[in-house]
Structures are given as C-alpha cells and as structure tokens.
Structure 1
Amino acid sequence: MRAITTRMFVTLDGVVQGLGRPDEDTSGGFIHGGWGPQYNDEVMGRELAKEMAKPGDMLFGRRTWEDFITDWGRETDGNPFTTHMNAATKYVVSRTLENADAWQNSILLRGDAAEEVAKLQAQPGNDLSINGSASLVRSLHAVGLIDHYTLLIHPLALGSGKRLLDGPAPLTEFELTGSVATPKGVIIAHYTRR
C-alpha cells in the first residue's frame, strides 16, 4: 500500500490560503495573499530539498495542479525542485478537467476524490505526496487516507482565510516524528497519523 504524505504551509491560526502571491487565491474576499515568501530561508530550503529527494509520485487537486504548471511545469532552470516535479508522475484529481496533457507525466483521476485516491493508494507503486491542494487534503483527511503530515508553521496569524482542517473529520491523533525550527521562526513539524 502506498503511503500519502501532505506538505502544507500554514499560519499559526491554521490558514493555508494564498501563501505565495497576492493573487494566488482571493476567494471569499481573502486579502492576505503572499504571506509566505518573507519566511523562506536556507534552512527551509534545505529541509524541503530533503523531502523532494525522496522518490515518489505527486497528488494534486485541479486548482493547485494548474497553478504549479505555471510555476514549475515550463521551467528548465536546473532547480532540483523543478527537476523533481517535472520528472515525477503527477496524479490530478478533478471532475472538471478534460485531460491532464498540459504538464508532462500527469494522469487525470476523475470522480470522487476519496474513492479515486483510495484506489490509487491500494495499487503498487511509489508513495504519494501532496503539496498544497488544501481542499484535497481536507477530503482525504476526513476519510483517514493521509498517513504523514509535514506542516511548515509560520509565526503569524491572519484572522481569516481557508483553514487546513476545517470541516467534519474523525478524531485523529498524531505522533510527532521530527521537527526543525528555521531562523525566521517557521517550525517544520513532521507528524504521522496514529
């Protein structure tokens, strides 16, 4: 069975919306987009590089997949993140996409997210990682499909925005399996679902 790991950038009050750019996700009138880059530093880069060095496939929701195509799918800059993302098999869960041809090595999973991912998880193959895709993470968390959570907890509270684990979900306990604090105050915490 394939393990699923999610890697999420989150504020202290649980917001995951609009990390990278002011226009990344303004839904619901969100005005705090672009809150994350000011916290990037060498330690965070090194820790993320360790994660990306592990072999595995990627799992995306439609919106994040389309956003990542712009940021990563057309780059040939020699960046190890770019190389990893372009080489990895990318599964995109969507009921609205016609195909996944816009980014190499992408496979479209149509239908209910939890059902499609459960089928994929049961197949032999590489472990799966989710970067972003908060709606997908919430759906999979609600049915217990995510095994590992890497949270990059940023030292700020926004007061509004989409939350990581908002909505109905079963009682879930986690074991802290490792953590690193960056010089800019981000805590990178690794949890495994018990």
Structure 2
Amino acid sequence: MRKVIVTTFLTLDGVMQAPGGPEEDPESGFTHGGWQKPTYDEGVGEAIAAWYEDTDAMLLGRKTYDIFAGYWPTADPDNPFTERMNAMHKYVASRTLTSVDWQNSTLLTGDTADAVRRLKETEGRNINVVGSGDLAQTLMREDLVDEYRLTIHPVILGTGKRLFADGAIPTALEPVTVTGTKGGTVLAVYRPKGRPTYDSF
C-alpha cells in the first residue's frame, strides 16, 4: 500500500501559511508571507531532496495546485527540483476546479477521503501532500496520514494557518528521525501511532 506523507514547512509555532512569498497566500490578512527564505539553508534543501527520493506523486489542494502550476512549468531549468516537480504525477483535490492543465495532473472526483483511500491501494511509491493545509486537515481527520516530514524553522509569527490547528485529532507520534541544520531548522519525521496515552508524575 502506498503511504500518504504530509511534507511541509512550519514555523516554530506551527504556522504553515505562505512560506514562499508575500503574495503566496494573504488570506485572512496574513502579512508574514515569505518567512521561510531567511531561515533556509543547505541542510533544508538536502533534506527535502532526500524526502522526495521515495516519492513519485504529489497530492495537492486547489490553492497549492494553483501556486505550483503557475510557477513550476516555467521555472528555472537549472533548479534541480524543476524537472522533478513537472515530471511527478499530481493528484488534485478540489470542489471548484473542473480541469487541471499542468502536465501529469489528475483531478480527483467524488469524496476526497474515499478517493485518497483508493489512491493508496494503487501501484506506486509514496505520495507527498505538499502545503495544502485544508486538505491535510481532512486527511488527518480521516486517519489517512501515514507519516509527517516537517522542516521546523527558527521563527515565530503568532498568527496564520497552522498544520495542527484547533480541532486536530489527538494523536501520538513515533519519531523516525529528528535532526537539525546549521541554521537551526529542525528536520523531523514522525509516524502516527494511535491515540495519546495519559499519566501523571
């Protein structure tokens, strides 16, 4: 069975909104777009490249699909990610899109959770959920996330969309690897392991 892996950039206080630039996602008056680049270092790039080695598809919500489809087809061909992002298969979950034009893209139909369950049963390697905060919330509620691969950057914003937002399902996590970069970004891989347990000191 293919794994669904949530791969995303976070601030130290868990914000995932608009890491790439000021205009990426200003929803709800968010004014901190572009927070990632000042904290980005070589170690982050190496980790992301490694995390994509066992992946052959992405699962995207509409907003992230629109951002990526507007950038990667004409991105710098010398960027090592350009060819990979364009060649990789993209599955898009959207209630509003009627077609997807970026090469190797497929629009999922019907209920998103059911479509992802079917997708996990197909032949192939891992599937990365990139950005796509609303989609990630749906997958977490439906217990469809097999792993989290997170870069946690040394910046606090205090506002913005969070990966683990209010109402997130309580979940215990098993650490797979947790390391750091020279610039202070934490590279963390976790797998869900059921509900948390509780005790006292």
TM-score above 0.5, yes or no: yes
TM-score, normalization: structure 2? 0.90
CA distance in 2, matches of 1:70, 1:180: 33
Match of 2:54 in 1: 54
- Supply the AA of the counterpart residue of 1:116: A
Match of 1:166 in 2: 165
- Supply the AA of the counterpart residue of 1:14: G
Superposed displacement of residue 77, structure 1:
0.8
SS at match of 2:63: helix
Match of 1:29 in 2: 29
Superposed displacement of residue 112, structure 1:
2.9
CA distance in 2, matches of 1:124, 1:54: 13
CA shift digits 1:130-178 (9 cap, x unpaired): 1111111111011110101011111121111111121434321111111
Alignment RMSD: 1.4
Pairing 1:2-81 to 2, within 5 Å after superposition: 2-75=2-75, 77-81=77-81
Pairing 1:85-124 to 2, within 5 Å after superposition: 85-101=85-101, 103-124=102-123
Check conservation: 1:143, 1:169, Cα contact below 8 A.
no
Match of 1:127 in 2: 126
SS at match of 2:72: helix
Structure 1 stretches of at least 4 aligned residues deviating more than 6 Å after TM superposition: none
SS at match of 1:45: helix
The number of residue pairs the alignment matches comes to: 193
**Residue segments in structure 2 that go unaligned for 5+ positions in a row:** 194-201
- Supply the AA of the counterpart residue of 2:100: A
CA distance in 1, matches of 2:40, 2:71: 17
**Residue segments in structure 1 that go unaligned for 5+ positions in a row:** none
Superposed displacement of residue 76, structure 1:
5.4
SS at match of 2:71: helix
- Supply the AA of the counterpart residue of 2:164: L
- Supply the AA of the counterpart residue of 1:150: R
CA distance in 2, matches of 1:187, 1:151: 8
Match of 1:193 in 2: 192
- Supply the AA of the counterpart residue of 2:32: H
TM-score, normalization: structure 1? 0.93
